[in-house]
């Protein structure tokens, strides 16, 4: 961590997990107290990233970790992890915007659904080994929507095209001031205990070690 980031953490007085044990009103007070300092930290960030950071701080309190390039929260609300990035990623679906806010949940995706999720939305990202799925957009409501529809694909309730159409319709409703319930929270149960799929061993470590040892002895001779 750079000296700047360390100083920024100290200035914010980040208290780690204790923030998330505080009542919602206390989190709001903390956000108001830190507002000026957060603005200072994000002064060089693009507008979309600054707005996303402000929204997350207002809702969840100060981040658990902060650098000049990102803010990170752990176990905030329904999320396993939330990251606001300074760097923007251009995203054209369903309309041009900047991806800066990524949010993760523990989730098992069958391997035969990976291609469908990739075709559905390139900003829905599956980590099979870690057992996570994340959505990346500029607003939390859009991330709720993206993951709810991803769950519909995994469970077979919607095809890829149906999910893409439903996403576009929900965003249009949101822009008209009528966000659907699918943008207000997760509509599926999250198994927080799911820790991923480590895969299957196909190379015996003991045999590999023995083979290496024999090879070393042979070369020594």
At 59-114, the pLDDT tens digits run: 999 999 999 999 999 999 999 999 999 999 999 998 899 999 999 999 999 999 99
CB-count exposure of residue 20 (10 Å: 0-12, 13-18, 19+): middle
**β pairing state of 97-106 and 132-137:** antiparallel
DSSP β-bridge partners for residue 83: 72, 102
Confidence band, pLDDT 50/70/90 cuts, at residue 170:
very high
Among candidates 114, 7, 9, 97, which has minimal Cα distance to 52?
97
Cβ atoms of 23 and 16 closer than 8 Å: no
In the prediction, which pLDDT does 205 show? 74
- Answer yes or no: is pLDDT of 38 > 80: no
**β pairing state of 70-74 and 97-106:** unpaired
Please give the Cα distance from 137 to 100 (Å, whole number).
Answer: 6
Range list of β-strands (E), the chain: 65-66, 70-74, 81-91, 97-106, 124-127, 132-137
Q: What is the largest CA-CA distance in the chain?
A: 79
In the prediction, which pLDDT does 196 show? 96
Among candidates 144, 94, 148, which has minimal Cα distance to 122?
94
- Answer yes or no: is pLDDT of 204 > 60: yes
Confidence band, pLDDT 50/70/90 cuts, at residue 210:
low
Domain boundaries, the chain: 1-69, 78-190
Any idea which of 34-48, 82-96, 97-111, 124-138 has the lowest mean pLDDT?
34-48
Phi-psi region of 75 (alpha: psi -120 to 50; beta: other; left: phi over 0): left
In the prediction, which pLDDT does 78 show? 97
**β pairing state of 65-66 and 81-91:** unpaired
> What value does the mean pLDDT of the chain take?
83
Cis ω for the linkage preceding 75 (within 30 of 0): no
Please give the Cα distance from 178 to 49 (Å, whole number).
Answer: 24
Hunting for tokens 């603005």 — which residue is that? Answer: 39
Confidence band, pLDDT 50/70/90 cuts, at residue 41:
confident
- Answer yes or no: is pLDDT of 29 > 70: no
Range list of β-strands (E), 5-96: 65-66, 70-74, 81-91
């Amino acid at each position: 961590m750079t000296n700047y980031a360390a100083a920024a953490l100290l200035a914010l007085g980040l208290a780690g997990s204790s923030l998330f044990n505080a009542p919602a009103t206390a989190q709001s007070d903390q956000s108001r107290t830190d507002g000026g300092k957060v603005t200072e930290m994000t002064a060089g960030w693009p507008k979309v990233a600054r707005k996303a950071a402000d929204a997350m701080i207002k809702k969840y309190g100060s981040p658990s970790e902060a650098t000049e390039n990102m803010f990170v929260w752990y176990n905030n609300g329904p999320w396993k992890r939330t990251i606001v990035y300074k760097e923007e990623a251009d995203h054209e679906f369903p309309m041009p915007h900047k991806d800066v806010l990524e949010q993760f949940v523990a989730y098992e995706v069958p391997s035969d659904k990976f291609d469908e999720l990739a075709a559905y939305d390139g900003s829905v990202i599956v980590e099979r080994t870690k057992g996570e799925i994340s959505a990346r957009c500029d607003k939390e409501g859009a991330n709720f929507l993206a993951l709810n529809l991803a769950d519909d694909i995994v469970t077979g309730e919607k095809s890829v095209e149906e999910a893409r159409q439903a996403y576009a319709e929900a965003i249009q409703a949101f822009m008209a001031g009528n966000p659907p319930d699918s943008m207000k929270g997760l509509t599926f149960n999250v198994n927080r205990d799911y820790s991923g799929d480590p895969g299957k061993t196909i190379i015996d470590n003991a045999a590999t070690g023995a083979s290496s040892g024999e090879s070393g002895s042979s070369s020594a001779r």
